[in-house]
Amino acid sequence: MSAHPGLAEIERARAALMGRVRQTPARPSPGLARRLGAPVVLKHEHEQITGAFKLRGATNALANLTDAERARGVVTVSTGNHGRALAHAAREAGVRCVVAMSRLVPANKRDAIAALGAEIAIHGASQDEAQGEVDRRVAEERLVEIPPFDHPDVIAGQGTLGLEILDDVPDVAQVLIPLSGGGLAAGVAAAVKARRPRARVVGISMERGAAMHASLAAGRPVLVEEAQSLADSLGGGIGLENRHTLAMLRDLMDEVVLLTEDEIAAGMAFCHVAEGVVVEGGGAVGPAAILAGRIRPIGPTVALLTGANVDPAQHARIVSDPAILERLAR
Ligand SMILES: *Cc1c(COP(=O)(O)O)cnc(C)c1O
């Protein structure tokens, strides 16, 4: 097997995911097509089980464990969409799952992951201290760590979305992908470019703390300061020891677009008002980038709606804010 996953690994992942994840709908968006000046199809992956695409990577990683590893169990530190996905996938596979988190993680997030059957290990007052608990469990209990993006089986699992896009829109010219650690973008780009080498792949992040964008510019993993953002699922670093996603995206990504908080809010509101769907900030950056005039009309464009896990009060505030709705009317 090559160092980075490619089409063969992604096709194997698709077989492994059959019957375990949803094949999500792809629907044309006339409103975005009018603004872009080219056909736009939205991939409604926020309808995935657990509310985000991360179930694909987590399920594929579990499917690739050896029997001995499955008997030991898995561990992660994510309290967001990856933690939810791993907890669900582990329960479905009958594998023990521990999610480590700091005592600062809000009770509702803790309870949501516990409700999916994972054991919660509260440790320390920061994500770094909680990671220390993961390291200890790996060393002492021999749990297998499944990271959120920088892992070949996780990347291949996310790449199955690229195969679905090729089935949904065979003449796709451009794919808009929410970008954080880059597991999604690396997998989708590997699938799409293997079949359609001239299709453009555009990653989209928030201006505040875009670690992959900074790392691509520097040519090595760099630390960025984390800031609050509506796109909370796009926060966090890429890992100073990054092994796969940075190198893959250096080859496969054509462009990265960075958005302001107001632009992200407009994307969320558009999804609700025009498409009738609830999408979290990090999941709505594709429509947001089109609305902001940052995407080129080069042909059929697919935007991935990646997640639905938004605080209901925050969502209600944004989709009823007159200043944000005003932006959509233009
Ligand atoms: C994790 C996540 C992303 C980004 O995925 P990466 O593989 O880290 O780049 C985008 N959208 C949502 C909703 C996510 O949960």
pLDDT value for 106 = 81
Taking CA atoms, 216 is separated from 5, 116, 235, 238, in Å, by 19, 36, 16, 11
Q: Does residue 283's CB lie within 6 angstroms of at least one atom of ligand 1? A: yes
What 3-state DSSP class applies to 177?
strand
- Give the span between the Cα atoms of 160 and 56, in whole angstroms: 8
Two tokens, residue 291: 């609305």
User: Hunting for tokens 């893959």 — which residue is that?
Assistant: 248
Q: Does residue 54's CB lie within 6 angstroms of at least one atom of ligand 1? A: yes
C-alpha 177 – ligand 1 centre gap (Å): 9
| Residue 172: DSSP 8-state | -
Question: What are the φ and ψ backbone dihedral angles of 282, each rounded to 5 degrees?
Answer: -65, -25
Q: Does residue 81's CB lie within 6 angstroms of at least one atom of ligand 1? A: yes
Asked if residues 132 and 161 have their Cβ atoms less than 8 Å apart, the reply is no
Residue ranges of the chain assigned to CATH 3.40.50.1100:
7-52+151-329, 55-145
What pLDDT digit, counting tens, does each position of 233-277 carry? Answer: 998 889 999 999 999 999 999 999 999 999 999 999 999 999 999
Residues of the chain with pLDDT under 70: 1-2
Domain 7-52+151-329 listed as CATH 3.20.20.80: no
Mutate which of 151, 306, 311 for ligand 1? The one with the most ligand atoms within 8 Å of its CB, which is 306
Asked if residues 97 and 86 have their Cβ atoms less than 8 Å apart, the reply is yes
Q: What is the pTM of this model?
A: 0.96
Q: Does residue 35's CB lie within 6 angstroms of at least one atom of ligand 1? A: no
Q: Does residue 230's CB lie within 6 angstroms of at least one atom of ligand 1? A: no
Helix boundaries (H) for 228-277:
245-252, 261-275
- Give the span between the Cα atoms of 43 and 61, in whole angstroms: 23
Q: Which fold has domain 55-145?
A: Rossmann fold (3.40.50)
Atom in ligand 1 nearest the alpha carbon of residue 179: 9
Q: Does residue 245's CB lie within 6 angstroms of at least one atom of ligand 1? A: no
Mutate which of 79, 232, 234 for ligand 1? The one with the most ligand atoms within 8 Å of its CB, which is 234
3-state per-residue secondary structure call for 22-57: CCCCEEECHHHHHHHCCCEEEEEHHHCHHHECHHHH
- Give the span between the Cα atoms of 9 and 44, in whole angstroms: 24
pLDDT value for 1 = 41
Taking CA atoms, 9 is separated from 147, 187, 248, in Å, by 18, 10, 14
Measured between alpha carbons, how far apart are the two ends of the chain, in Å?
Answer: 50
Q: Does residue 268's CB lie within 6 angstroms of at least one atom of ligand 1? A: no
Mutate which of 45, 60, 81 for ligand 1? The one with the most ligand atoms within 8 Å of its CB, which is 81
User: Hunting for tokens 């944000």 — which residue is that?
Assistant: 324
- Give the span between the Cα atoms of 125 and 103, in whole angstroms: 6
Task: Give the containing element (helix H, strand E) for 13.
Answer: helix 7-17
- Non-local (6+) Cβ contacts of 65 within 8 A are 74, 95, 144
- Give the span between the Cα atoms of 185 and 317, in whole angstroms: 30
Helix axes 54-63, 7-17, angle to 10 degrees: 90
Half-sphere exposure of 216 (CA within 13 A, CB side): 23
Q: What angle do CA 6, 185, 206 make, to 5 degrees?
A: 165
Q: Does residue 178's CB lie within 6 angstroms of at least one atom of ligand 1? A: yes
| Residue 221: DSSP 8-state | -
Two tokens, residue 161: 């979305």
pLDDT value for 227 = 84
Q: Strand pairing of 40-44 and 26-28?
A: antiparallel
C-alpha 53 – ligand 1 centre gap (Å): 8
Asked if residues 103 and 122 have their Cβ atoms less than 8 Å apart, the reply is yes
User: Hunting for tokens 């703390």 — which residue is that?
Assistant: 209
Q: Does residue 305's CB lie within 6 angstroms of at least one atom of ligand 1? A: no
| Residue 118: DSSP 8-state | P
What pLDDT digit, counting tens, does each position of 46-79 carry? Answer: 999 999 999 999 999 999 999 999 999 999 998 7
pLDDT value for 107 = 84
